[in-house]
Amino acid sequence: MCMFSSITAAGIMTALKIAGTVAAVASSAVSVAGSIQNANSAKAQAEYQAQVNRENAKIAQQNADAERQQGIEEARLQRIKTLQNVAKQQTAMAANGIDITSGTPLDVIEDTAAIGELDALQTRYNYERRALAYESTAGNYMNQANLDMISGQNAYKANQLNALSSGLAGLTSAASVASKWYGFGQNSNSGVLTGWTPSLI
């Protein structure tokens, strides 16, 4: 009966060793899985935000292109308007018998043409300023997208390192638990597992 009790105690001790080791490994696995999930989540979030900023940069650049093209068109229309005004002045002066090839009449016509060209250039300048503002915004969005990607990569690496650290800590803990359970209940001299055996007498 004493032998049976010793065998039973040995089985219980072995089961406890295994359970302790399994618990330590399971805890480590949960921690590792959590770190990996955090890594993937951080990376995905950063990539999403970077994509949003890239799309915003694309829209801003499209707006810049549209403003610049609109400026070219508005300047062209202004020059056409100036030519029409010059033509009207020439027609009116000629109808009144005024020589438009010299003197004050010519000065008036040239001034009209010059003022019209200045208006066209000012129009083009105003649209170009708006285009440049949009391009600056696009550049800011692209810079932020790059920072988002770097941030995501750093977060991913940090969480991967945490996962590795957790895994190593878990293995160390499992080894420690197994070692403690293995030493529990052993005779320090013989190394024989001894258990408490109830007396039947």
**Whole-number average pLDDT of the chain:** 77
Q: Determine the pLDDT at residue 112.
A: 96
Please name which of 27, 40, 53 lies closest in space to residue 147, comparing C-alpha atoms: 53
For residue 193, list its beta bridge partners.
186
Region 147-173: what's the mean pLDDT? 73
Q: Determine the pLDDT at residue 42.
A: 77
How many angstroms separate the CA atoms of 91 and 107, rounded? 15
Tell me: pLDDT of 140 over 70: yes
Region 163-170: what's the mean pLDDT? 65
For residue 180, give the 3-state DSSP assignment: helix
For residue 186, list its beta bridge partners.
193
pLDDT digit string, tens, across residues 60-83: 999 999 999 999 999 999 999 999
Summary count for the chain: helices (H), strands (E): 2, 0
Give kind and range of the element (H or E) at residue 135: helix 103-183
Q: Determine the pLDDT at residue 170.
A: 60
Ranges 20-29, 41-50, 129-138: which has the least confidence: 20-29
Please name which of 195, 193, 181 lies closest in space to residue 23, comparing C-alpha atoms: 181
Tell me: pLDDT of 161 over 80: no
Q: Determine the pLDDT at residue 92.
A: 95
